[in-house]
Amino acid sequence: MRLDYPPNYTERIGAVSIHALQKIYEIDSGKMPKFNGLHQHQSIKAFGYDELSSIFQELAIVIPVKNEKISLLEGVLSGIPNECLIIIVSNSQRTPVDRFAMEVEMVRQYSSFADKKIMIIHQNDPELANTFKKIKYRSILNTKSQVRSGKAEGMIIGILLAKMHLKEYIGFIDSDNYFPGAVNEYVKIFAAGFGMATTPYSNIRISWRSKPKIVNNSLQFPRWGRISESSNKYLNALISHITGFEREIITTGNAGEHALSMSLAENLNYSSGYSVEPYEFINILEKFGGLLPSNNPDIIEKGIEIFQIETRNPHFHEEKGNDHLAGMMQESLLAINNSKICNTELTREINDHLLMLQVKHNNDMTKLNFKKKHLIMDPIKIIPIDKFAEFVVKNSKTFIRIG
Ligand SMILES: Nc1nc2c(ncn2[C@@H]2O[C@H](COP(=O)(O)OP(=O)(O)O)[C@@H](O)[C@H]2O)c(=O)[nH]1
Ligand SMILES: [Mg+2]
């Protein structure tokens, strides 16, 4: 992979470096010759396969899935480089049709052809909830002491399984992606990002080149979806307010495809459901941006790097309708608005936006509850990972390891 390096500019906020969008010149830059001081251009960096491969071996790819088409999930698996550990966290229905069983069956069949390491677990496995109770990680449980539904909740389970398999990096890829080639590019981007990082605390975020859709019977390639446009706008407004300079550095507010080094992942709080991606930015700034008190001197000293890298492939995923989008927009806006670092002027603007959303969807008040709670989960660092591993392996009936 060959891409811009160093990034065009970097915004520094406390210990956090947010790098501007980096462009890819070659998805595959061939076999790199041994370093001779000549092949690295001054403003470009190339990663040969060997270099990427050594990062893939340390990388777990977490795929959250809820009732997606089985063939889409299989396509996603096919795009992930062989060396990566794959962790599927499913919240698919068990009755009347057991879609989780169908997923397990597909993974078993697929594995007989592809020599990959794949794990799968169901988010609603009662033994998983029991494990969380025993280790006193209650912020992932609902009032009935079950693991809450939600993408972020699934991601946390994925991070824990990756940690228990001693992985250094975790990447997240949605299961409803139509292009296995795009998935392959995402994983290469994650590895290139970790390869560029100069600190153990890094976050790699994917910016899609385009999100194709059909409008009036013709294929169009808009750059942003509606939600990304809004959350990028508000995140940029927040950053401009902090730095005093108006810039549009953030292009990846809602990127479902992103990756974290384990050292950073285990220190972050996660916001429930779909607000997890914009909240990741917010939480990094809250914790390490020097705006609020921090109790992580080692991380502050080494610094955090956020890379944003633009794909060459378009992003094409399952369209889930307007209600889904409105709910997601509301969750994302609340995640930004409820932060202590969000200033009053921006809060007013976001509140107006939320109000407008509610008026638009006034016949669907239950889904767009203005007083909706925005739940924050504790950093997984507090979980004794050996105990978690022991309980999950011994008790969880849905935890299956293949390959
Ligand atoms: N484990 C898990 N995955 C979920 C849950 N809800 C959604 N997902 C998955 O999360 C990914 C993103 O969700 P999606 O509905 O496509 O959201 P969008 O792409 O951001 O519009 C998809 O792979 C979903 O199948 C959940 O409650 N648990
Ligand atoms: Mg999707």
34-77 per-position pLDDT tens digit: 655 555 678 999 999 999 999 999 999 999 999 999 999 999 99
How far, in Å, CA of 281 to CA of 263, rounded?
16
Domains within the chain, CATH numbers bracketed: 12-22+50-243+252-402 (3.90.550.10)
**How many angstroms separate the Cα of 15 from the Cα of each of 9, 85, 304?**
16, 31, 6
Ligand 1 site residues, Cβ closer than 6 angstroms? 64-66, 68, 89-91, 123, 149-151, 154, 174-176, 256, 317-318, 320
37 C-alpha to center of ligand 1: Å? 44
pLDDT attached to residue 237: 94
354 C-alpha to center of ligand 1: Å? 22
Reply yes or no on whether the pLDDT at 367 is more than 60. no
Which residues does 300 contact at the CB level (< 8 Å), separation at least 6?
14, 15, 288, 294
What dihedral do alpha carbons 250, 256, 261, 266 form, nearest 10°? 110
Residue by residue, DSSP assigns 141-172 as B-TTSSBPPSHHHHHHHHHHHHHHTT-SEEEE
Reply yes or no on whether the pLDDT at 366 is more than 70. no
Q: Which atom of ligand 1 is nearest to the CA of 89?
A: 1
Q: How many helices (H) and strands (E) does the chain have?
A: 13, 17
How far, in Å, CA of 393 to CA of 131, rounded?
11
Nearest to 309 by CA among 197, 227, 392, 190: 190
Give me the amino acid identity at 83: E
* Residue 378 contacts residue 135 (beta carbons within 8 Å): no
Mean pLDDT across the stretch 323-332?
85
* Residue 366 contacts residue 373 (beta carbons within 8 Å): no
Reply yes or no on whether the pLDDT at 328 is more than 90. no
pLDDT attached to residue 368: 56
| Average pLDDT over the chain, rounded to an integer | 92
Closest ligand to residue 256's CA: 1
* Residue 84 contacts residue 162 (beta carbons within 8 Å): no
Reply yes or no on whether the pLDDT at 195 is more than 60. yes
**Quick one: pLDDT band at residue 364, thresholds 50, 70, 90?**
low
Identify the sign of the CA torsion 185, 191, 195, 199: positive
Closest ligand to residue 225's CA: 1
pLDDT attached to residue 371: 58
**Of 2-16, 22-36, 74-88, minimum mean pLDDT range:** 22-36
